[in-house]
């Protein structure tokens, strides 16, 4: 059987399995480039993350040879084919749950996440997650490009961090929003800001924390500041909004992320000696400071029962219309009570 006949047979088999087969030629570029990047230029409607998954799954051939490495180098003029299976249904089951929907259209949904809600299923969290609730709310429209267990998820918040999140409902939205979040507003339109309550007074009042982060070698459940060569670059910009507290100083701090690492704000502020109030992971050494708060503030902190961190601002470019969208969320009731109790 000739190579052409083999390809025809593969196409027929794929059609039976409802798999779309795309064939093309690597467009000219400046020398060699990564396979996944070249395919993203060739088929811009497919996100780079999805193309990487298809490559690793053996669904891409280059000059009739299967390529399994997304970083493989290619040059313009090479023939390429990719088999694109239909989106797989997400494994998590839909679970009806009240969601605070701030904005929704055919492409995306913005929600105000409450405390205690895990974003996507994982070890020990097979149900009761935001993804389960979104599947019930959005139905078949939810994008599956973020992964079977994380359909539509572009970014996430810690379980006990509250505030604004955007979720993609289409492949186009997922691809565009993922690119905006990867840029973190350095050159694009993305805007995110968090409000945090921290122990003590940060100096200077407006500043930047630039410290690499990596998984702690002592406790794999924690993130730690490490030498630049050992970790991932991480930058947090902050500004003190107000100084609160009467006997024990507490800062209301506004943080803006230039990178989006796990636990970044919590670790960076703790590294500077000003952990978040209520942070049992990174602020345990400051627990006794709660005893120096006024009774009403101490009771409010006990009632909070989590780190005092809220995603208060989210702005981005709409992936389809190009319009600028900007949303703000006030601190939730439990954090607002703590702020009020700390205000002189």
Q: Are 185 and 258 in contact (CB under 8 A)?
A: yes
Q: Which residues pair with residue 324 across a beta bridge? A: 317
CA distance 134 to 120: 10
For residues 107, 112, 115, 121, the Cα torsion angle rounded to the nearest 10 degrees is: 0
3-state secondary structure of 131: helix
The C-alpha angle 161, 167, 169, rounded to 5 degrees, equals 160
Select from 260, 215, 213 the least CA-distant residue to 232. Answer: 213
The whole-angstrom separation of Cα 97 and Cα 127 is: 12
Q: Is 158 annotated in the active site? A: yes
The C-alpha atoms of residue 258 and residue 238 are separated, in whole angstroms, by: 11
CB 236 within 8 A of CB 254: no
Question: Are the C-beta atoms of 265 and 257 separated by less than 8 Å?
Answer: yes
Q: Name every residue whose Cβ is closer than 8 Å to that of residue 128 and which is 6 or more positions away in sequence.
A: 95, 118
Instruction: Characterise 96 by phi-psi region: left (phi > 0), alpha (psi -120 to 50), beta (else).
Output: beta
Residue of 36, 107, 112, 158 marked active site:
158
Phi, psi of 167 (to 5 degrees): -125, 135
Cis geometry, peptide bond prior to residue 204 (ω within 30 degrees of 0): yes
Q: Alpha carbon of 67 to those of 1, 53, 81, 168: distances in Å? A: 22, 12, 10, 29
Q: How far apart are CA 200 and CA 215, in angstroms?
A: 26
Q: Which residues are catalytic?
A: 158
């Amino acid at each position: 059987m000739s190579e052409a006949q083999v390809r025809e047979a593969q196409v027929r088999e794929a059609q039976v399995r409802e798999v779309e087969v795309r064939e093309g030629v690597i467009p000219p570029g400046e020398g060699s480039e990564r396979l996944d990047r070249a395919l993203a230029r060739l088929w811009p409607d497919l996100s780079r993350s999805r193309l990487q998954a298809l490559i690793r799954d053996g669904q891409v051939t280059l000059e009739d040879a299967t390529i399994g490495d997304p970083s493989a180098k290619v040059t313009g003029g090479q023939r390429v084919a990719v088999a694109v299976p239909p989106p797989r249904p997400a494994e998590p089951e839909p679970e009806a749950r009240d969601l605070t929907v701030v904005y929704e259209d055919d492409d995306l949904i913005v929600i105000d996440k409450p405390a205690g809600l895990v974003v996507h299923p994982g070890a020990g969290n097979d149900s009761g997650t935001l993804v389960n609730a979104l599947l019930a709310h959005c139905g078949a429209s939810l994008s599956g490009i973020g992964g079977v267990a994380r359909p539509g998820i572009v970014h996430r918040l810690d379980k006990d961090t509250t505030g604004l999140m955007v979720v993609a409902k289409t492949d186009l939205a997922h691809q565009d929003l993922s690119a905006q979040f990867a840029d973190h507003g350095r050159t694009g339109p993305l805007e995110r800001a968090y409000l945090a309550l921290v122990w003590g007074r940060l100096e200077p009042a407006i500043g930047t924390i630039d410290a690499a982060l990596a998984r702690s070698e002592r406790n794999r459940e924690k993130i730690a500041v490490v030498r630049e060569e050992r970790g991932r670059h991480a930058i947090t910009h902050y500004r003190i909004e107000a100084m609160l507290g009467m006997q024990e100083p507490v800062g209301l701090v506004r943080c803006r992320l230039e990178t989006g690492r796990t636990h970044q704000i919590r670790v960076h502020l703790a590294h500077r000696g000003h952990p978040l109030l209520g942070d049992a992971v990174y602020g345990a050494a400051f627990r006794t400071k709660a005893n120096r708060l006024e009774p009403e503030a101490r009771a409010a902190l006990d009632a909070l029962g989590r780190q005092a961190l809220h995603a208060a601002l989210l702005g981005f470019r709409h992936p389809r219309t190009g319009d600028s969208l900007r949303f703000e969320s006030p601190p939730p009731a439990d954090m607002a009570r703590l702020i009020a109790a700390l205000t002189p």
